[in-house]
Amino acid sequence: MTPAVYAPHSAFVAPARGSSDLGRLVLGVFAVEFLFAIALSLFSRLLEAAAPDLAHNVIYGLSPAGLCLQLATFGFFAGSLALVMRRTHGRPLSSALGPLGPAVEALTRAAGAVALVYLALEILPPWWSAAGLAETRSLPLWAAALPFGVAAILVQVTAEELFYRGYIQQQLAARFASPLVWMLIPNLLFAAAHWDNGGSPEESWQYVIWALCFGLAASDLTARTGNLGAAIGLHLANNAYAFLFFGEYGGMDSGLALFLFSPEPAGGLLPPETGGGGVLSVYLLMDLVIVWLSWLAARVAIRR
């Protein structure tokens, strides 16, 4: 049974009802990934031939320009999705977004509300320790790169939301009425895409669990509003916080971070021993609480 609060989801799903067979969806998912991989490969080859140093920075996200370009390549993902949706389902990419005006309004409201949650986390105790701080980037240079960073992050999160909470969620909801299907399956795929984060198996499992819960929050916001705006806003605020403020010195995707910490910082929010206990650690619990607070703030902002 679909909850009454998800009534707007019916109109959001309507464009998918004419081509809701599972075969087309499976073909579409594989086609999007295949086309995206080809586009990335071609882009990487061209960039390596033209500017090897920049290509290295793009792969590892080590500089502002490199990380901005890396995130902007998700435009290829959105382009691949647009082609597949048109060819396989006969509908435009915009149909995976929902009505543009309400989506933009929900995006700005949700992004602002979630940003306030992260601001509160920084202002209120417990505070992070500067003992492991290796470098603070020049504030004027960081601020100059900020608009480009936010724009690149917006490209990335919009492409992901269009694919997971737009295209896949719509196609499944057009076929299955139960939210257990159209909320769980897209977000299991979203979580699986976050498995390889370069850490230990425990860290990878933690990231997968976090991504599943985050994706469910985004799907819920999408169903409540009938557009992707709030989900994009939630995703934008989260990724902006992750990319723009804290990073590991010399680490992957640190190119836009203001504060760079050594790989094994001497300080932190909690003593090292409190984060133990395997996959279900205190740190994971804290991250999931932040997801819940962010989801709640977005709901308050969009009045849903």
Predicted confidence band of residue 197 (pLDDT cuts 50, 70, 90): low
Q: Is 64 exposed, middle or buried (0-12, 13-18, 19+ CB in 10 A)?
A: buried
Look up the domain containing 196 and give its range: 4-302
Per-residue pLDDT of 209-223, as tens digits, reads 999 999 999 999 999
Query: 279 falls in which pLDDT band (50, 70, 90)?
Result: confident
With a cut of 60, say whether residue 270 has pLDDT above it.
Answer: no
Q: How confident is the model at residue 267 (pLDDT cuts 50, 70, 90)?
A: very low
Model pLDDT, residue 125: 85
pLDDT tens for each residue of 146-182: 999 999 999 999 999 999 999 999 999 999 999 999 9
The pLDDT value recorded for residue 1 is 63
pLDDT digits 0-9 by tens, 69-107: 999 999 999 999 999 999 999 999 999 999 999 999 999
**Adjacency order of strands within the sheet including 259-261:** 133-136, 259-261, 246-248
**pLDDT recorded at residue 287:** 95
Predicted TM-score (pTM) of the model is 0.93
Name the nearest CA neighbour of 234 among 290, 294, 183: 294
198: pLDDT strictly greater than 80: no
Higher pLDDT, 279 or 179: 179
Q: Tell me what percent of the residues of the chain surpass a pLDDT of 70.
A: 94
pLDDT value of position 292: 98
Q: Residue 20's pLDDT is what?
A: 94
pLDDT at 266: 41
Q: Give phi and psi for 135, each to the nearest 5.
A: -160, 140
Q: Is the pLDDT of residue 200 over 90?
A: no
pLDDT at 264: 63
Kindly state the average pLDDT of the residues 187-204: 86
Total of domains in the chain: 1
First-to-last C-alpha distance (Å) of the chain: 19
Long-range contacts of residues 289-295, Cβ cutoff 8 Å, at least 24 apart: 290/117, 290/121, 291/210, 291/213, 291/214, 291/217, 292/217, 293/117, 294/114, 294/117, 294/217, 294/234, 294/237, 294/238, 295/217, 295/220, 295/221, 295/234
Tokens in use for 219?
A: 């799907």
| Amino acid making up residue 174 | A
Q: What is the pLDDT of residue 151?
A: 98
Bigger pLDDT: 3 vs 223:
223
Please give the C-alpha separations between residue 167 and each of 70, 283, 297, in angstroms, as whole numbers.
23, 32, 25
User: Which pLDDT does position 274 carry in this prediction?
Assistant: 43
243 close to 67: Cβ distance less than 8 angstroms:
yes
Predicted confidence at residue 277, as pLDDT, reads 60
pLDDT at residue 196 is higher than 50: yes
Angle, helices 22-50/52-60, rounded to nearest 10 degrees: 140
